[in-house]
Amino acid sequence: MKLKVACLQMDIAFGNPEQNFKKAKELIEQSIREKPDIIVLPELWTTGYDLTRLNVIADKQAVKAIEFLKNLAQKNGVHIVGGSVANKEESGVKNTLIVVNKAGELVHQYNKLHLFKLMDEHLYLKAGSKKGIFELDNHLLAGVICYDIRFPEWIRAHTVLGPEALFVVAEWPAPRLSHWRALLIARAIENQCFVIACNRTGYDPTNHFFGHSMIIDPWGEIIAEAEETEQILFGEIDLNDVEKIRKQIPVFEDRRAEFYR
């Protein structure tokens, strides 16, 4: 199954949800002109890393973001891997990835498992505990958030269940561009799946974000890579390639999980 993917590599207004919703709508509507099957947004696209004010600006139960994405998905007949948003729940604020299908239905929510202490996430966010596995058009897929890709055992816990593509939404800052590229390519090769990674661009008061959103095939070959500026990255993936590659080099069949503990 061939799918056209659009990654919205947007500059996020620090702590300004209203402005960010407006920007996201503009980019989604702009991307629709190219008729993508799936649109992907970056991590914390509604607020950026304005962590100290999340109790005030976070989206309660992610209601506003979910309705926003559902409406645009249904209106345009497109699946949306809606990045992640600051989601205010009774237990605290979580970094929640949202997936809606082209019928405007909420498919899945995933709460970031690994909190990045270098950016103080652990002080303001609550970690999740469940996997980011979901289905679109009867294809099993997975989604994770930024720092998660540094934990190959967490990614493998997903892909061993069969997902054909891994979506990564991120606010990955400079200067670690080489890490970003190497980790994404490695995750694609070792898990024999497509990797669709949407990073933000621009600046906040303490960080520079370099973009370089990427679409990578199961061999680790780069299908498309953005530059540093705000842009929409398009690429086509063929999910049928995954089964062929997994048969050619049967990594999952040859695993010896009993020795990995």
Marked catalytic residue, from 23, 88, 121, 146: 146
Marked catalytic residue, from 23, 88, 94, 112: 112
Euclidean distance between CA atoms 82 and 105, whole angstroms: 12
Residue 146 a catalytic site member: yes
Residue 198 a catalytic site member: no
Residue 43 a catalytic site member: yes
CB contact at 8 A, 199 and 9: yes
Q: Which residues are catalytic?
A: 43, 112, 146
